[in-house]
Amino acid sequence: MPSNAPPLPRYALIQRLLHWLIAAIVLLALATGGTIGYLGFDGLRAEFGAAGTDFTYTTHKTLGVLILGLMVLRVAARLGLGKPGYAVPLPAPQRIASRAVHDLFYVLLLVMPVLGWLATASGGYPVHLFTIELPGLIDRNRELSDTLFFWHRVIGITIAGLIVLHVAGALYHWWVRRDGVMRRMSLLR
């Protein structure tokens, strides 16, 4: 039996596709970055050999460059297409928390790959997009590289925390409030 209720507000398909694609790539980038951070270069070499180490670093760098490019597209889509309203208005604290988490995601997912790119280049290492070596954009400077890598790690940990908050909020809206918020970004009907 068809419903006369208006359809729930949703993001445009391109926005939903970008959201889920970026989410998957960010999880992979955090996993490879966490592996690099935990094992270090020598630990990677001992565990995976030279080829595995190179593959891990190249994969992590490629994921970072992809995140940066996709986030630029996502910001453009957001500016051009806006965002849908809520089917059920959110209480002020939830609205403020949601806005803060989303805004931090946008900023950090733009800043983190830039820091990684600059840290890598200033450390004298190549920046890769798959097998293509990209320009370093900055001169070699070991101290600067160490500082940039430190902030790259801090932002990675912050993004991991934001993911936990974001998923918890999504599950709360889906299972507790049942207010249609999950449909806004769902790829499914």
Radius of gyration from C-alpha coordinates of the chain: 19
Biggest CA pair distance of the chain: 67
Task: Identify the pLDDT of residue 1.
Answer: 41
Say if strands 127-129 and 132-134 run parallel, antiparallel, or are unpaired. antiparallel
- Using DSSP's 3-state secondary structure scheme, residue 114 falls into helix
Can you give the pLDDT of all 189 residues of the chain as single tens digits? 455 666 778 999 999 999 999 999 999 999 999 999 999 999 999 999 999 999 999 999 999 999 999 999 999 999 999 999 888 888 899 889 999 999 999 999 999 999 999 999 999 999 999 999 999 999 999 999 999 999 999 999 999 999 999 999 999 988 998 888 888 888 887
The whole model's pTM is what?
Answer: 0.92
- Counting every residue, how long is the chain? 189
Q: Which H or E run contains 44?
A: helix 13-81
Let me know: does 9 contact 86? Beta carbons within 8 Å: yes
Packing angle between helix 92-122 and helix 142-171, nearest 10 degrees?
150
Q: How far, in Å, CA of 67 to CA of 24, rounded?
A: 10
Let me know: does 74 contact 105? Beta carbons within 8 Å: no
Structure tokens at 140: 């070699």
Q: Which amino acid is at 48?
A: F
Close Cβ partners of 131 (under 8 Å, ≥ 6 residues apart): 58
